[in-house]
Amino acid sequence: MQKILKIKTNYKQEIIDITKELDIFLKESKIKEGLLTAYVQHTTASLIINENEDSNICKDVINCLNSLIPQGKWIHDKIDNNGAAHLKATILGCSIQIPIKDNKMQLGKWQKCLFVELDGPRKRNIIINIMGDKK
């Protein structure tokens, strides 16, 4: 089963919790056991799994990335000034996978599925694929 989740971001960099949207699609799928994969179709955005109970974690992730990969010093910046966003997305990755059991994502107690915007604001697509058994 496949679905495209459309996201509109509001800031240059932000992290958006998409756990609820993934869970809704999982419930609709009626898959009892299997694997959920989410994949972002963009080279300046990422998907990660991390905590979101304390919003400071998301701020720390962005601050850490900005510290490691500063803006404005990359060869690609000569084209469209977003070389840092491409590098950050490369490090974080473009997909996540979550095992499914009893029609529930098997996330840890504090884990959430997070979309990372690195060159917004933009409209983004995330492809969600759920495979498994309905038994």
pLDDT at residue 129 in the model: 98
Tell me the whole-structure pTM to 2 decimals.
Answer: 0.95
Helix 55-68 / helix 83-92 crossing angle, nearest 10 deg: 120
Say how far residue 40 (Cα) sits from the centre of its chain.
7
What letter does residue 21 receive in the DSSP assignment? H
pLDDT 10s digits, 106-128:
999 999 999 999 999 999 999 99
pLDDT at residue 124 in the model: 98
The Cα 69–Cα 87 span in angstroms is 7
The pair of three-digit structure tokens given for residue 127, joined into one six-digit string: 């492809």
Look at residue 94 and give its three-state secondary structure. Answer: coil
CATH superfamily membership of 2-133 = YjbQ-like (2.60.120.460)
Reported as type and span, the H/E element at residue 100 is strand 95-101
Of residues 99, 104, 86, the one with CA closest to residue 36: 99
Tell me the pLDDT band of 47, cut-offs 50, 70 and 90: very high
pLDDT at residue 74 in the model: 84
pLDDT 10s digits, 27-43:
999 999 999 999 999 99
pLDDT 10s digits, 71-102:
889 889 789 989 999 999 999 999 999 999 99
Cross-strand partners of 96 = 38
